[in-house]
Structure 1
C-alpha cells in the first residue's frame, strides 16, 4: 500500500474545522454585538447554509467531470479568504449578507472535494478516515476554547481578524496536500449514473434524514452561545462547553472503525438520530443545570461524531468512483438546506416561542429522521 500523507491531510481538517469552531459558537454572538435582532441574526447565519444548498452540487459536478478536485479545493480556499476580507469595508445588514453569501459559495466548494481526495489516499485503509478527521475536531476545540477565553477579555471587534487568520491557514494547508484520484475516475464505462445510484433502496431516505438532522441543529449552532450567556454562563465557560462536545466527538471518531466493523450503518444512524432528539430536549428545558448541560454536550458524540462517520461511509458505499464527488456534494447540500431552515425557523421562533419550544421542534425533527431510517433503510453491514 502507498504511504498515507497523514499529517498533510490532517492539517487541512485542522484548519477547516477551526474555522467552523470560530463561526458556530461566535458568529451569532458577533452579530448580536453589532446590534442585530434575533430574526436578522437567524437570517445572516442561514445565508452560508443556503449557499451550501447550491455550491457543493455545482463544484461536485465540476470535480467529477474534470477530475481537478485539488485545484477546486485550492481555488475555493483562496477565494474564501478574499471574499470574507470584504467584511472590513462595511457592517450594514446588506453588506454582511453579501459577505456571508460570497465567502460561503467558495467555502462550501472545498470540503466535499477534499473528502474524495482523502478517501482516495485511503484506498484499502478506509477505516483510518476517522483518525484523520479527528484533527478537524481538535481544530474546533482549540478555537472554541481559545476564542472563548479571548473574548472574555477583549472586544468582539477583533473577531473578523481571527477568522481571516484561520482562513489563511486553510489556504496554506491546501497547498501542502498531494493530489489523489479515486480508482475508476477515468473509467468512462463505470456502471450507473448518479441519478440511477441515487434511486437505489434507502439512498433517498438517507439524504432526507441528513436534512432533518441538520435542521434539528439549527437552534444549537445559531443560539446556544446566546442561550447559555443569558443563563449566566461566562464566555470562557461556554467555550469549554462547546469543546467538551467536540472532545466527545473525537473519542467517537477513534472508536468508529471498531464500531462500524461490528454494527450496521442503519443502527448507527438510528441511534444517532434518537440521541439527537434527547439532546435537544435537554438543552431546551434543563440547560440551567450544569450536570444536564454536560450530559447534553457529551451527546455530541452521537449527534455529530457517529452520524458523520456513518454518513460518509454510506455515501462512499452508495456511489461509484465517478459519482463520489456528487454524492459527497449532495450530502453537503442537503445538510446545508436543513441547517439553513433550522437557522431560519429558530431565528423567528426564539423570541416568539422561547428556547424550550424552539429546541422541542428540533427534537421532533431528529425523531422523525429516526423513524424514517427505521422504516426505509435496509439492515446492511458497512
Structure 2
C-alpha cells in the first residue's frame, strides 16, 4: 500500500480546509459582506458537494478510472480559486466559488475509494492514513493564524492558493488501485439504499453536517467578535483537530470493541452538547476549548465509523458511488442546509441560538439512528445479500 503517497495527499487536501474554512470568512467580512452574503458564498461549497460527487462518481464508474479525474479536479480548483485575486465583488466571488467548489468536491470520494481499494482487507488502517489530513489541517490553521496577526487578510488568498497547488502535485504521485471484484450476487444500488440501516445512516449524516453548519461558517467570526486574536482562533481550531487525530489513531481498537452503531450514537450525543456549549459559553475560553475537544467525537469518530459503514455496505463497483452519495448527502446537502440556516439565524435570533439549532440537528440525527438502525443490523457485513464481509 502506498501509505506515504496517500498520506501526503490527505495532508495537503485538508491543509486547504485548514487554510480556507477558518479564514476565508474573515476575508469576506473584511470585504464588508453581510452574514447572509457570507453564508450564501460558503454554502456554494456544500451545493457543489451535492451535485458534483455523484456526477464525477458516475463518470469514474463508467470510464473505469478515478485518478485522472482527481488530477483534473485539483488543477481546475486552483484555476477557480485564482478568480479571487481579480475581483472583490459578490458576483465575481460567487463565480469563483462555484467553479472552485465544483471541481474541488469531485476528488475526496474518489480518493476515499482508492484508499480503501489499496487497504483491501485492512480497512481498519484507514484512520492512520486519514490522520495525516488532520495534521495538514493543524499546520495550515495554526501557521496561517500566526501569519494573519502580522500580515493583511489578503495573505489568506496566497496561502490557500499555494496549498491547492500542492494538492495537484500530490495527486500526480498517487497510484491507481485494483478495483475489488464485485460478487455476482451483490446487491444493486437500489437494493442497498432500501435497507433501513442505510437510510438511517445517510439521514443521520445529513443532520450531523447540518449541525456543523454554524460552526464551519461562523466559528471564527464568533471568536473574533468576542475578542479572541487570530492566533488564538487558529489554536482553538487546531485543538479540535488534535483530538480528531487521537481518535483516528485509536479507531482500529475502538472498532474491535464497539459496534459502528454504538460509536455513532456516542458521536451524535457529543454533538448535542458541543454546539450548545459553543454558542452559550463563548465568553469562557475554557468552555470553548472543551467544546473543541469534543470535535474528536463529532467529526473523528463519526466520520471514521460512517465511512467504514458505507465502504462495507456499498461493495465492489458501488464503492465510488457509495462514497459520493455519503459525501453529497452529508457534507453537501446537510452542510448547505446548516450553512444557510445559520446565515439567516445569525442576524435574527443571534449567535447563541444559532448554535443551539446545531444541537437540535444533532439530536434529530441521534434519534433517527436509534430508531432506524436496529442493534446488530448491518454490522460486519454479515447480512449483505452476498453474505460476505469486506
**Do the structures match in fold with TM over 0.5?**
yes
> How many angstroms does 1:104 deviate by?
0.6
Q: Does 1:234 align with 2:229?
A: yes
Q: Does 1:374 align with 2:373?
A: no
CA distances 1:200-243 after superposition (whole Å, capped 9, x unpaired): 23101111111100001011000010101111110001100000
Helix, strand or coil at the partner of 2:32: coil
- 1:357 corresponds to which of 345, 353, 356: 353
Moved more, 84-93 or 292-301: 84-93
Q: Indicate conservation of the 8 Å contact 2:15/2:133, yes or no.
A: yes
Q: Which aligned pairs between 1:61-80 and structure 2 lie closer than 5 A? A: 61-80=58-77
Q: Does 1:132 align with 2:129?
A: yes
Between the aligned partners of 2:280 and 2:234, the Cα distance in structure 1 is 20
What does residue 96 of structure 2 align with? 99
**How many residues get paired?**
377
Helix, strand or coil at the partner of 1:26: helix
CA distances 1:53-99 after superposition (whole Å, capped 9, x unpaired): 10001111111222201111111111111122122221110110111
> How many angstroms does 1:378 deviate by?
2.1
What does residue 385 of structure 2 align with? none
Q: Indicate conservation of the 8 Å contact 1:29/1:226, yes or no.
A: yes
Moved more, 313-322 or 83-92: 83-92
What does residue 82 of structure 2 align with? 85
Helix, strand or coil at the partner of 2:104: helix
Q: TM-score, normalised by structure 1?
A: 0.97
Name segments (4+ residues, structure 1) moved above 4 Å: none
> How many angstroms does 1:190 deviate by?
5.6
Helix, strand or coil at the partner of 1:25: helix
Between the aligned partners of 2:229 and 2:211, the Cα distance in structure 1 is 25
Q: Indicate conservation of the 8 Å contact 2:20/2:156, yes or no.
A: no
Helix, strand or coil at the partner of 1:257: helix
Q: Indicate conservation of the 8 Å contact 1:56/1:108, yes or no.
A: yes
> How many angstroms does 1:182 deviate by?
2.7
Q: Indicate conservation of the 8 Å contact 2:78/2:165, yes or no.
A: yes
What does residue 15 of structure 1 align with? 12
- 1:249 corresponds to which of 240, 244, 253: 244
Between the aligned partners of 1:198 and 1:63, the Cα distance in structure 2 is 20
Q: Indicate conservation of the 8 Å contact 1:64/1:324, yes or no.
A: no
Q: Does 1:270 align with 2:265?
A: yes
What does residue 388 of structure 2 align with? none
Between the aligned partners of 1:379 and 1:16, the Cα distance in structure 2 is 35
What does residue 220 of structure 1 align with? 215
What does residue 288 of structure 2 align with? 293
| Structure 2: runs of 5 or more not aligned | 381-390
CA distances 1:153-207 after superposition (whole Å, capped 9, x unpaired): 110112211111000100000001111033116x7x4632212111123101111
Q: Does 1:332 align with 2:327?
A: yes
What does residue 310 of structure 1 align with? 305
Q: Does 1:183 align with 2:180?
A: yes
Q: Indicate conservation of the 8 Å contact 2:148/2:230, yes or no.
A: yes
Q: Indicate conservation of the 8 Å contact 1:119/1:182, yes or no.
A: no
What does residue 341 of structure 2 align with? 345
Between the aligned partners of 1:199 and 1:181, the Cα distance in structure 2 is 28
Between the aligned partners of 2:274 and 2:136, the Cα distance in structure 1 is 23
CA RMSD of aligned residues (A): 1.1
